[in-house]
Amino acid sequence: MGSRWQVEKHKDPYYKRAKQEDYRSRASYKLKQLDKKFKLIKQGNTVVDLGAAPGGWSQVALEKVGEDGIVVGVDLNRFKKFHEENYYGIRGDFTTPEVQEKIIELIGGKAKVVMSDASPSLCGIKNIDQLRSIDLTNAVIEIAENILEEKGNLVMKVFQGPEYKSMLDSLKGKFRQVKTTKPASSRKKSSEMYVVGLKYRPKKNRKENKN
């Protein structure tokens, strides 16, 4: 008999479906559901996947962008190589300038979609875990601001904590629309939420910069 977590995992319909349909993780269905609802990724897009391992979201992105698009996946952990020629994997910490420079180099400057399903490594101490989560979210937003092209899209996982509302407010001027959602495949007991920013407005196009 396996652990309770193992037993629950094997009963999970998305886990089973991922096995049957050859997806690397059940998380693939979260991105599929998010994409169906918000039309985030289109054929030919350049997509940056932050916290990509084992590669479930990257797989879905590769399907969506087709041969004309590019997908760059970054993770601290090693993950199985993709054989598609338009996929670039980076092993490293996306909060560091070196990795951010590498991303920019690979995409040639700009991306249409920045997505992050990254989870901080948790230590169990609430205040520390919340700070780690905030740092990760801030890094994703900073990367999005540096590389998103005008009208590009952002989708990222966040854990609801004390800074959640101010983070959402800060995003509102930066995108035409900001939505929060929890896809059906996200486990109900998890405090994760997904924040979607549609149609990025570069700084020069924002109201506060016009006079």
Ligand X SMILES: C[S@@+](CC[C@H](N)C(=O)[O-])C[C@H]1O[C@@H](n2cnc3c(N)ncnc32)[C@H](O)[C@@H]1O
Q: What single string gives the DSSP state of each residue in 65-124? A: H-TTSEEEEEESS--PPP--TTEEEEES-TTSHHHHHHHHHHHTT-EEEEEE---PPP-S
Binding mask 62-81 for ligand X (x = CB under 6 A): ------------xxxx----
Query: Which residue stretch of 62-70, 113-121, 164-172, 187-195 sits at the interface with ligand X (rule: CB under 6 A)?
Result: 113-121
Q: CA-to-CA distance for 120 and 109, rounded, in angstroms?
A: 26
Q: Quote the least distance from Cβ 136 to ligand X, whole Å.
A: 6
Question: For ligand X, which residue of 45, 117, 156, 194 counts as binding (CB under 6 A)?
Answer: 117
Identify the CA nearest to 98 among candidates 71, 74, 114: 74
Question: For ligand X, which residue of 34, 40, 41, 53 counts as binding (CB under 6 A)?
Answer: 53
* Residue 93 engages ligand X in binding (rule: CB under 6 A): yes
Identify the CA nearest to 110 among candidates 57, 152, 149: 149
Cis amide prior to 202 (ω within 30 degrees): no
Query: Which residue stretch of 24-32, 38-46, 171-179, 181-189 sits at the interface with ligand X (rule: CB under 6 A)?
Result: 24-32
Query: Which residue stretch of 45-53, 170-178, 179-187, 194-202 sits at the interface with ligand X (rule: CB under 6 A)?
Result: 45-53
Toward ligand X, which CB reaches closer, 119 or 151?
A: 119
Q: CA-to-CA distance for 171 and 37, rounded, in angstroms?
A: 20
Toward ligand X, which CB reaches closer, 52 or 70?
A: 52
Identity of the residue numbered 52: A
Catalytic residue among 64, 112, 157, 174: 157
* Residue 27 engages ligand X in binding (rule: CB under 6 A): yes
Residues 140-199 that bind ligand X (CB under 6 A): none
Identify the CA nearest to 111 among candidates 58, 85, 149, 146: 149
CA 39 to chain CA centroid, nearest Å = 15
Toward ligand X, which CB reaches closer, 86 or 95?
A: 95
How many residues line the site for ligand X (CB under 6 A)?
23
Q: CA-to-CA distance for 66 and 55, rounded, in angstroms?
A: 16
Lookup result for tokens 């054989």: 83
Toward ligand X, which CB reaches closer, 56 or 69?
A: 56
What is the Rg, in whole angstroms, of the alpha carbon atoms belonging to the chain?
A: 17
Q: Look up 64 and say whether it is catalytic.
A: no
Active site residues: 157
**Site residues (CB under 6 A) for ligand X?**
24-25, 27-28, 51-57, 74-77, 93-95, 117-120, 136
